[in-house]
Amino acid sequence: MDYESKAVARRRKLRDSLIAAAEETIETEGLRGMKARELATKVGCAVGAIYNVFSDLDDLIFAVNALTLEQLETTLTAANTETADPQTGAIRKLTHLAVAYTDYAAANRRRWRALFDHRLAEDQEVPTWYKTNLARLFAYIEAPLRQIAPGMADADRALLARSMFSAVHGIVLIGLEEKLQSLPLTVIREQVVTMVQAMARGLATPSS
């Protein structure tokens, strides 16, 4: 191994260690715990070394959130079962996806919250690669919607998927919210199932 590739390997190792340390911080303390000095202590590097592999802490948080999206995608893939009748199949699929999302959020509260609580400075943009990852998750909702509301323009379907996701997200968020008296997970699941099925049936029924 020449000098160049050793340096690359060292950088990669530092990057991986920092991501692992940040994951642990987010899981135990949430985003508030993310401090450069503490991360540096955890992985045993100088504070300045962090900025050799990440442009800033936001960049590191995006890396962790991308792993969270990957975990989420794994649970969505598992939930995405096929059934024979396309119409009820689509409603069932949406239900499974929504329940998988609910269960993931409940089991990984701090990781899940970090996806939404991460605020960027005004001049900063969400990286394109992260947006691409997000879009891939929305596609899981768009597929069954295509069966429920066929003939809809792609842009409208994408917006509908976002609405449906947002509605489920709201139920999970308020359901787990302690200030409004948090609900048991089984009750949140029932709420999600009831509302997703009502939405899907309603979307399949033309308005009078």
Q: Which of 54, 79, 168, 189 binds its own copies (CB under 8 A)?
A: 168
In this structure, what token pair is assigned to residue 137?
A: 């998750």
Number of residues that bind its own copies (CB under 8 A): 41
C-alpha span between 156 and 98 (Å, rounded) = 20
200-205 contact pairs (CB < 8 A, 24+)? 200/90, 200/91, 200/94, 200/95, 200/148, 201/91, 203/145, 203/148, 203/149, 203/160, 204/87, 204/91, 204/148, 204/149
How far apart are CB 3 and its own copies at their closest, in Å? 40
**Choices 7-15, 37-45, 98-106, 155-163; region in contact with its own copies by CB under 8 A:** 155-163
- Please say which residue, 14 or 160, places its beta carbon nearer to its own copies: 160
- Ranges within 60-89 binding its own copies (CB under 8 A): 88
202: helix, coil or strand?
A: helix
Q: Which of 13, 44, 180, 184 binds its own copies (CB under 8 A)?
A: 180
**Helix boundaries (H) for the chain:** 3-29, 36-43, 47-53, 57-79, 86-107, 109-117, 128-148, 154-176, 185-204
Q: Which of 43, 69, 134, 185 binds its own copies (CB under 8 A)?
A: 134
Q: Which of 118, 143, 152, 185 binds its own copies (CB under 8 A)?
A: 118
- Please say which residue, 79 or 114, places its beta carbon nearer to its own copies: 114
Query: Which one-letter DSSP state was computed for residue 177?
Result: -
Q: Based on the shown chain and the rule CB under 8 A, indicate whether residue 170 belongs to the binding site for its own copies.
A: yes
Build a one-symbol-per-residue string for 186-205: x at contacts with its own copies by CB under 8 A, - elsewhere: -x---x--xx-xxxxxxx-x
C-alpha span between 161 and 76 (Å, rounded) = 15
Q: Which of 6, 12, 109, 162 binds its own copies (CB under 8 A)?
A: 162
Query: Which one-letter DSSP state was computed for residue 150?
Result: T
How far apart are CB 130 and its own copies at their closest, in Å? 9
Contact footprint for its own copies (CB under 8 A) = 88, 116, 118-120, 126, 134, 159-160, 162-171, 173-175, 177-181, 187, 191, 194-195, 197-203, 205, 207-208
